[in-house]
Structure 1
């Protein structure tokens, strides 16, 4: 990707970029819809992400080329108020991030940027957070916001998505993209934003399978689920569902539907903390049981899975026969499933998916095995994100 971005930069802007940056996508191993409830999540950054070739300008204009949208362009002035322009949706994330960076550093310089990426869009692997964090890394690498630390960068990216794009996401996606640790998942306390790396067993693999059912958080029921959680917290008189026990919830008098939504969050927090423990111990059988319980909770209490995703999880779970776990990952209503499994079982799982799974439209799943990767930063010519493309 890095070489492709640099070649396009030269053809678009007439000379070379000064640097390239990347920010990874992520897959969440367990802990779904807990982040905006001040809870716990266990994602890992993956070796797919966004790459930006960048050069600082002498004025305060920003020119952007999006290679993955046919070379579409956007241009704006950092001295003027920024607004979403038309239906060019990718540009909303760039503009929203620029707006937040200007609020952090009013002297933010202009840039020329060429953007490309390989995170499947609409798959629940956080292509949007990868883009936002990469834009922040680009401005930082070009000399803007030099004092912006990774957690601050993630917070600005979250605010851009909340306020400019209009999706009320939590902090998980942006924080793991900014702070990921190679070879490890990252246990995140979404209340105080502390992180703890959790090394995956050396013989474990992370397999992601796309259901080929596209999802879109802004257009889905994501915001409705978030409001149900907020309503439950208000009823219980707490700041967030993280502060609620299961006993309190079951005797709360909440309407049945709202109580089920809250029950998912309360039980998922417990599962996530336990998952960090068993994963660190290398206990994949215990991890499998926790992932199965998580998926059942998302299906029955939070109601964010779809039949195709349920079938895909069942197929992988049956193939693994207790040697690894699988669950839906991401905001829901389509997208991907994630499995944590011994490497020796990867081929069998891939074969089962290829033989027995098709989406409602008859599409085969896209399957890939990813490596837990480092968070956002500058690239050199030898870095993995750009070395082979």
Structure 2
């Protein structure tokens, strides 16, 4: 028995990396790649989970038994965490039978986990009449990932999956969670944004991510501010002079300059000057590589080879340590740029990356 079908997309982040947990600005848009949940209510308090990507018997969990200390480390922690977060927040949710299929690449920095969380929350919201708007729904999904799964992520991924609209990038202020939809039709301007999935996998819940987040918090504490969002771009030099630790200083420099890059990209997009976005993306990659140190040789290879082929700009996207890069290019040059990147990987006997054009798509929705 099926009560409905829901879909939630992955996302690509145009600019604004590692700023969301610093109360900063981000600018993602939804991809056409989605996680689809075919779901039905159950009256027995059982959460029964199937996935086309995880062959074997369905996993059964009792809703009443869900708790962070009982997570398993499997993919089922994400939907289980959502059910737990909803119940913890006082929402009356019961059992659920759900079957998942997904076209969102896993481990590619394209928010496959957020898509899984959001589609689960949306199905529960509809099936149990919870009445949650997209902002609170996204926050509960983040709660699930932070407290249940144990990954210290910010709010961007879940908000993008829940709230993006077709043909737009989402300008999100992660402090007050205000959102603006920025028209982002690159094709109309003769441009394409390529996503290059290096197929190098990473895990946000591993220590490197947490160490950088802790370093950002240490920087804010040293500067006497609530979050690095409060450090202005104009006051950056003075702020850096007050920080003794070189690693913390580099993290602060990245976050402050990255917030400024988001503002520049928004201004270019609103002015219709999309080609001017390219150099800003490249600046962002250098900052992530050198100051935040979350790039890797494969991501650097994508950026360097794409720029050598004439791309307007390129950078890694997502949390780093693998995953994907984005490349802004003239549409006419796109095949040559993609070919140059693929050739660079082949020359080094690396696994061929997956390359596709990113098209701003709809956020989470009920399919039927």
Given candidates 24, 28, 43, the residue that maps to 1:39 is 24
The answer to whether residue 209 in structure 2 is matched with residue 225 in structure 1 is no
- Map of 1:205-224 to 2, 5 A cutoff? 205-224=192-211
* Superposed counterparts of 1:146-295, under 5 Å: 147-201=131-185, 202-203=188-189, 204-245=191-232, 246-295=236-285
2:14 to 25, 29, 33: 29
Number of the residue aligned with 1:58 = 43
Q: Which residue of 1 aligns with 2:304?
A: 314
1:379 and 2:364 matched: no
Superposed, 1:137-152 pairs within 5 Å as 137-145=122-130, 147-152=131-136
- Gaps (5+ residues) in structure 2? none
Q: 2:113 — aligned with what?
A: 128
Structure 1, unmatched stretches of 5+, are: 1-15, 381-389
Could you give the per-residue CA deviations for residues 164-194 of structure 1, whole angstroms, max 9, x where no partner exists?
1111000000001000110111010000001
Measured against aligned partners, the alpha-carbon deviations of 1:224-243 in whole angstroms (never above 9, x if no partner) come to: 00000000001111000010
Q: Do 1:291 and 1:326's aligned partners in 2 also have CA atoms closer than 8 Å?
A: yes
SS in 2 for 1:124: coil
CA contact (8 A) 1:213 1:359 kept: no
Contact 1:308 1:360 in 2 (8 A): no
**Alpha carbons 1:235, 1:254 under 8 Å: kept:** no
In structure 2, the CA distance between the partners of 1:102 and 1:86, relative to structure 1 (3 Å rule), is closer
Cα 1:86/1:105, change in 2 over 3 Å: closer
The Cα of 1:358 is off from its aligned counterpart by 4.1
Bigger CA drift: 217-226 or 25-34?
217-226
Shift of 1:87: 4.6
Q: 1:40 to 1:56 in 2, by over 3 A?
A: same
Deviation at 1:250, TM superposition (A): 2.3
Deviations 1:196-226 (A, max 9, x none): 1111132332210011211111125111000
Give yes or no for contact 1:249–1:263 (8 Å, CA) kept in 2. no
* Shift in alpha-carbon separation, 1:264–1:63, aligned structure 2, 3 A: same
Computed over aligned residues only, the root mean square deviation of the Cα atoms, in angstroms, reads 1.7
Cα distance in 2, alignment partners of residues 300 and 66 from structure 1? 39
**Whole-Å separation in 1 of the counterparts to 2:347 and 2:222:** 40
Return 239-248 or 101-110, whichever deviates more: 101-110
**Residue 322 of structure 2 corresponds to which residue in structure 1?**
334
50-59 vs 348-357, which deviates more?
Answer: 348-357
Which of these residues, 60, 75, 88, is aligned with residue 75 of structure 1?
Answer: 60
Please state how far the C-alpha of 1:34 moved relative to its aligned partner: 0.3
- What's the counterpart of residue 5 of structure 1? none
Structure 1 CA distance, aligned partners of 2:106 and 2:260? 30
Q: Is the 1:19–1:54 Cα contact (8 Å) retained in structure 2?
A: yes
Q: TM-score, normalised by structure 1?
A: 0.89
Correspondent of 1:346 among 331, 334, 352: 334
Structure 1 range deviating more: 368-377 or 344-353 = 344-353
CA contact (8 A) 1:84 1:92 kept: no
* TM-score normalised by L of structure 2: 0.94
SS of 2:18's partner is coil
In structure 2, distance between residues paired with 1:59 and 1:328: 45
